[in-house]
Amino acid sequence: QVQLVQSGAEVKKPGASVKVSCKASGYTFTNYGITWVRQAPGQGLEWMGWISAYNGNTNYAQKVQGRVTMTTDTSTSTAYMELRSLRSDDTAVYFCARDSPGPVSTGADYWGQGTLVTVSS
Amino acid sequence: EIVLTQSPGTLSLSPGERATLSCRASQTVSSSYLAWYQQKPGQAPRLLIYGASSRATGIPDRFSGSGSGTDFTLTISRLEPEDFAVYYCRQYGSSFGGGTKVEIK
């Protein structure tokens, strides 16, 4: 069965970086993309970006462009999302999800369990 | 950038009632790329509808999607207790709407 398992919760200081992992299983990793979405406490869903697991092409949201890097390791079927220069408003639960192989999504059908990232001095 | 506006913000209904949720886009959105998600507290979102009207795997037929252009609708024909949640629309694989909370009246 398809599963996405994310790394554990993180606490970071402002200005630091965080790297969240998302290990996929149960499907051919390179046939899909991975979308990253975050949700601040009590708020809605915010799309952060997408990466093709086939060729590494990325598409980032304007809001985090320049601070975010999404990568994949096809040898381990793992996707990574690194966010730099953290601010308090980056405090959120970060989700990965299996998505379309191209940048235009037809629906993210399997999701990781979420990773809480807390940014606090 | 296309902005999705969902209404109402909160819908208070009783089990067995019909729920109608709206998602309006600031520009025309291809129906192929409009999706609806359900999220319950403490859980990841779940894909309900893709391509504006196709149900995802395992989604009960009381959930239906419709619409085109700039106006899309998610309808839950008869609310079950497990349907009380927040619903989000999403377009083109990027931005989400602000969500509609369906709560028990």
Tens of pLDDT along A94-113?
999 999 888 777 789 999 99
User: Which residue do the tokens 């915010």 mark?
Assistant: A46
Write the CB contacts of A41 (distance below 8 Å, at least 6 apart in sequence).
Answer: A91, A92
Residues of chain B neighbouring A44 (CB-CB closer than 8 A): 86, 88, 96-99
Write the CB contacts of B6 (distance below 8 Å, at least 6 apart in sequence).
Answer: B21, B22, B23, B24, B87, B88, B89, B97, B98, B99, B100
Q: Which H or E element spans position A1?
A: none
pLDDT the model gives residue B32: 80
User: Which residue do the tokens 């990027």 mark?
Assistant: B94
Rounded to the nearest angstrom, the minimum Cα separation between B104 and chain A is 19
User: Do the Cβ atoms of B90 and A100 come within 8 Å?
Assistant: no
- Token digits of residue B81: 């207790």
Residues of chain B neighbouring A100 (CB-CB closer than 8 A): 93
Q: What is the pLDDT of residues B59-104, one digit of tens each?
A: 999 999 999 999 999 999 999 999 999 999 998 767 899 999 999 9
How many C-beta atoms lie closer than 10 Å to residue A13's C-beta?
9
Q: What is the pLDDT of residues A12-26, one digit of tens each?
A: 999 999 999 999 999
User: Do the Cβ atoms of B93 and A99 come within 8 Å?
Assistant: yes
Instruction: Tell whether B68 is within 8 A of chain A (Cβ).
Output: no
Which string of b and e fits B64-79 if b means at least 16 CB within 10 Å? bbebeeeebbbebeeb
How many C-beta atoms lie closer than 10 Å to residue A79's C-beta?
28
Q: Which H or E element spans position B75?
A: strand B63-76
Contact B35, B55 (CB under 8 A): no
Interface of B with A in 9-38 (CB under 8 A): 32-33, 35, 37
* Mean of per-residue pLDDT scores for chain A: 96
Provide, rounded to the nearest whole percent, the portion of chain B with pLDDT above 70.
99
Which string of b and e fits A36-59 if b means at least 16 CB within 10 Å? bbbbeeeeebbbbbbbbbbeeebb
Rounded CA separation B85/A107 (Å): 19
Q: What is the pLDDT of residues A29-71, one digit of tens each?
A: 999 999 999 999 999 999 999 999 999 999 999 999 999 999 9
* Mean of per-residue pLDDT scores for chain B: 95
User: Do the Cβ atoms of B99 and A50 come within 8 Å?
Assistant: no
Task: Tell me the torsion sign for CA atoms A12, A13, A19, A20.
Answer: positive
